[in-house]
Amino acid sequence: MLKVEHLDVLYGDLQVLWDISLEVNEGEFVALIGSNGAGKSTFIRAIAGLLKFERGAITYNGILLNNKSPHNIVEVGISMVPEGRRLFPKMTVLKNLEMGAFVKKARMTRFEALNQVYATFPILKERSQQLAGLLSGGEQQMVAIGRALMAQNKFLLLDEMSLGLSPLMVKNIFEIISKINKNGISILIVEQNVPLTLRTANRAYLMESGRIVGQGDAKILLKSPHVKEAYLGMKPV
């Protein structure tokens, strides 16, 4: 479904991603984990067309995404929930959600999509006429996910879902994301909350200093000595 091959990304003369290869199959929930500054968000922004890359190839269902604009990538079938949510705070919840249905195929069935979003996040229907900037952090994250779902794509890029949220809300958000995945939407998530992410995902990749240093079944990686020491603060016995 999504295939990234030998991706290099530079900021000016500074290389930040090195030879990244990663794959997400249809229906999978795949995590990219690593510490702050490892290059995770840079990687996901490159997939979404928000950053140019020096070398490599990104394909989605056989379509080459190199040099495509963010708009074109949404049209191809990939939606993104950005770090920090990026809502329009002075617009209502409803207007923010409707912004997600900007591509032609989504505009035609936006009312059906809106009802599906409200079924996933009932609180958003209650808050539909409230300004997005007045919502709690968790509710804003729900709006950001709902906006991405409005495009009615089969692939979601999720960037740091847990940022700034309470542990209880993070747990709720991950439960909702898991349900979305089970309803047929493939997911690639980059996230610093390693334990919860690895318990939820099918497979995972480990990124350190702009390189992939490990990959495998998420539950097995959660038990690995390296992950326990590097990300969970547990010293090897």
Q: What are the domain boundaries of the chain?
A: 1-69+186-237
Tell me if the pTM is above 0.75.
Answer: yes
Segment 58-63 mean pLDDT:
97
* pLDDT at residue 236 greater than cutoff 70: no
pLDDT reading at 234 higher than 70? no
Using alpha carbons only, what angle is made at residue 148 by residues 147 and 153, rounded to the nearest 5 degrees? 135
Please state which architecture CATH assigns to domain 1-69+186-237.
3-Layer(aba) Sandwich (3.40)
Predicted pLDDT of residue 161: 87
Residue 212 has φ and ψ, to the nearest 5°, of -80, 125
Q: What is the pLDDT of residues 125-153, one digit of tens each?
A: 999 999 999 999 999 999 999 999 999 99
Span 31-54, pLDDT tens digits: 999 888 899 999 999 999 999 999
pLDDT by residue (tens digit) across 153-173?
A: 999 999 998 888 999 999 999
